[in-house]
Amino acid sequence: MALAAASSGVGVQLEVCVRKDLSPAVATLHQLACTLATADRTPEQQQHVNQALLALLRMGDADPADPQPCGAERARRLAEALDIRSWVTLTYRITRPDGSREAWRSGSTVSQGESRLIALAPVLAALAADYRDLPAHAARLCALDEVPAEVDEKGRDGIAAYLVSLDLDLICTSHHWDGSPGAWDGITVYDPEKTGDGTVIAFETMDLYGPAMLHATGHLPSPGTAPGAP
């Protein structure tokens, strides 16, 4: 998320902390199964992982009100014990240009555009991470509606560059494309053709470097300058 920053230089980081009240079995699983790949674990470490899993299986049976749970109930309890989301705490940290960091809360002093960026960047990063195990030919779809709303031009350009870095297949709606000419490669933009009552009847492909597109996004070149040139 380092590429995502508002024009003011404000960015966002996710701080992930392991809870200090984890049971010994869960703490062992986190240390050996979440921070080490299977191929990197020693036989002794793998034995510790197996013992921790067995301990969690017993925890699934340890309910005085139901000493002999059915298979479905045992599976539910085990799934709850293995839910990694309950093992950690997540904190959004706002980063400032001066290097300071603070937790994002309702009283944080950020603009509407900065707030949009702070909320958007971790969600897109999580989506990209969820797609990372898909085969190369699979679609990594992400639908975004009016992402650049209340974000200034530099912020929109930063979001566009960040989106490109995540290798997502985007479907975006916007009254103007949220990006700069440098981020348009590989992107197809359609302009809806409407009837008098506003019904969309067709989509026209727009020339990314044509006058209409450059004018719509405020990236009109200087006279005598080729589109896309600095």
- The answer as to whether 123 is a domain residue is yes
Task: Give yes or no for residue 168 having a pLDDT over 50.
Answer: yes
Token readout for 229 is 């040139």
Per-residue pLDDT, 125: 81
Domain co-membership, 114 together with 82 = no
Domain span at residue 54 reads: 20-86
**Are both 72 and 117 inside the same structural domain?**
no
Instruction: Report percent pLDDT > 70 for the chain.
Output: 67
pLDDT in tens, 130-156: 888 888 888 888 888 877 666 667 667
Which tens digits make up the pLDDT trace of 60-97?
555 555 555 567 777 777 787 788 888 888 888 888 88
- Give residue 123's pLDDT: 83
Q: Does residue 46 belong to any structural domain of this protein?
A: yes
212 is a domain residue: no
Q: Is residue 66 part of a domain?
A: yes
pLDDT digits (tens, 9 = 90+) for 20-48: 998 898 899 899 988 888 888 999 999 99
Give tens-digit pLDDT for 200-217.
Answer: 888 877 665 566 556 655
Predicted confidence at residue 230, as pLDDT, reads: 47
Q: Of 4-18, 37-51, 60-74, 159-173, where does the model show the most confidence?
A: 37-51
What was the pLDDT predicted at 5?
A: 62
Query: Domain total for the chain?
Result: 2
Query: Is residue 150 in a domain?
Result: yes
Query: What's the alpha-carbon Rg for the chain, to the nearest Å?
Result: 24
Residue 184 binned pLDDT confidence (cut-offs 50, 70, 90): low
Assess if residue 200 is contained within a domain: no
| Residue 58 falls inside a structural domain | yes
Of 163, 203, 202, the C-alpha closest to 185 is 163
Q: Give the Å distances, CA to CA, from 114 to 94, 108, 220.
A: 10, 11, 25
How many angstroms separate the CA atoms of 166 and 173, rounded?
Answer: 18
CATH number at residue 154: 3.40.50.300
Instruction: Based on the fold, state whether residues 32 and 64 are members of the same structural domain.
Output: yes
The answer on 123 and 155 residing in a single domain is yes
Residue 127: inside a domain: yes
- Region 166-179 average pLDDT: 69
